[in-house]
């Protein structure tokens, strides 16, 4: 509301009823979802004529300025610019993007929620980002780069002496994750879901070992998923320290996956995880038809 007011005062007040099924504090972008649905609604009601990308940028500003989280734009972009049955390859520095086919064939996406609440603003998210920014500043003394993702692993190793041991670990995750992302995009383009799943595993290991944002709950879910024969890929999602994992599972194995992974989690952690079978849909928009609103 304040962001819209700053552009031009709203002509009237309004009452808003929010309803959603995204669990709060689970790392599934619930705050970005509220930001985008509010922005879309205000844009339509007050006929402001802002395009979707402008609403995405505004929502990120709200998260930074009013919520107090120094987040990037990825969550808001995914919520605002999502496209059914597609992944998005996004350069968060330039906002260049393209849609990639997400052909799951005989597989489903299963979200597993640790049910360990984590407040993003109070977690080590801002600390991780600050460490990466400190590493970037040092590397910019020898390379003309705007982000760590512009370096290759070999280049980072060449300049590792400029960084503290902790900065090396955090930067290594950022650089290798960017490399994995580009390879994952190529895998989706050629329909290689198996390779995509392998990259998901590598990503989680990097988040565990170099970025250190997983924790026993997320690791327990992911390791149980990796041991299940129906799993194509599994990794944590969100900022970590609790929250959720995302899993690609063969449809015929979904119920057994939920039961066995759930049992392994409850046995080790002492309370149950929650599971959601989801689909990839379009981004935040006004729903007009009864069929669309009932989905």
Residue 89, pLDDT > 80, answer: yes
Q: Alpha-carbon distance 272 to 243, whole Å?
A: 13
Q: What is the pLDDT of residue 135?
A: 98
pTM for the full model? 0.91
Inform me whether the pLDDT recorded for 289 exceeds 80: no
- Average pLDDT value over all residues in the chain: 93
At 294 the pLDDT is: 61
**DSSP assignment letter at 159:** T
Average pLDDT value for residue range 60-64: 92
pLDDT at position 264 over 50: yes
Domains of the chain: 1-101+283-295 (3.30.230.10), 103-123+213-279 (3.30.70.3170), 125-210 (3.30.70.890)
Residue that the structure tokens 């689909």 belong to: 279
pLDDT exceeds 80 at position 224:
yes
Judged against a pLDDT cut of 90, whether residue 25 lies above it is answered with no
pLDDT for position 6: 80
In terms of pLDDT, which residue wins out, 125 or 160? 160
Model confidence at 121: pLDDT above 50: no
Share of the chain above pLDDT 90, in %: 77
> Looking at beta carbons, which pairs linking 255-260 to residues 24 or more positions away fall under 8 Å?
256/228, 256/230, 257/110, 257/225, 257/228, 257/230, 257/231, 258/110, 260/224, 260/228
Active-site residue list: 75
Q: How many CA atoms within 13 Å lie on the side-chain side of 65?
A: 11
As a whole number, mean pLDDT of residues 281-294 equals 79
For residues 81-104, average pLDDT: 96
């Amino acid at each position: 509301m304040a962001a819209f007011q700053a552009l031009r005062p709203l002509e009237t007040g309004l009452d808003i009823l929010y309803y959603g099924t995204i669990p709060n504090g689970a790392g599934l972008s619930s705050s970005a979802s509220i930001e985008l649905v509010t922005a879309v609604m205000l844009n339509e009601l007050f006929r402001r004529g802002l395009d979707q990308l402008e609403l995405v940028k505004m929502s990120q500003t709200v998260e930074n300025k009013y919520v107090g989280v120094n987040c990037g734009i990825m969550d808001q972009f995914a919520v605002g610019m999502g496209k059914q049955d597609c992944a998005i390859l996004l350069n968060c520095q330039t906002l260049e993007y393209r849609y990639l086919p997400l052909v799951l064939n005989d597989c489903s996406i299963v979200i597993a929620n640790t049910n360990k609440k984590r407040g993003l603003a109070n977690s080590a998210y801002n600390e991780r980002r600050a460490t990466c920014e400190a590493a970037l500043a040092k590397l910019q003394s020898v390379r003309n780069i705007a982000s760590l993702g512009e370096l290759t692993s070999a280049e980072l190793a060449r300049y590792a002496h400029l960084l503290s041991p902790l900065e090396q670990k955090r930067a290594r995750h950022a650089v290798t994750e960017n490399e994995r992302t580009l390879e994952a995009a190529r895998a989706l383009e050629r329909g290689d879901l198996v390779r995509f799943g392998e990259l998901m595993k590598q990503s989680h290991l990097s988040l565990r070992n170099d970025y250190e944002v997983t924790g026993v709950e997320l690791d327990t879910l992911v390791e149980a998923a990796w041991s299940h024969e129906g799993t194509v890929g599994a990794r944590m999602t969100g900022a970590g320290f609790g929250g959720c994992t995302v899993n690609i599972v063969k449809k015929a194995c979904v119920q057994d996956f939920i039961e066995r992974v759930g049992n392994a989690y409850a046995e080790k952690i002492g309370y149950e995880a929650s599971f959601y079978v989801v689909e990839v849909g379009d981004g935040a928009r006004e729903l007009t038809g009864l069929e669309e609103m009932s989905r």
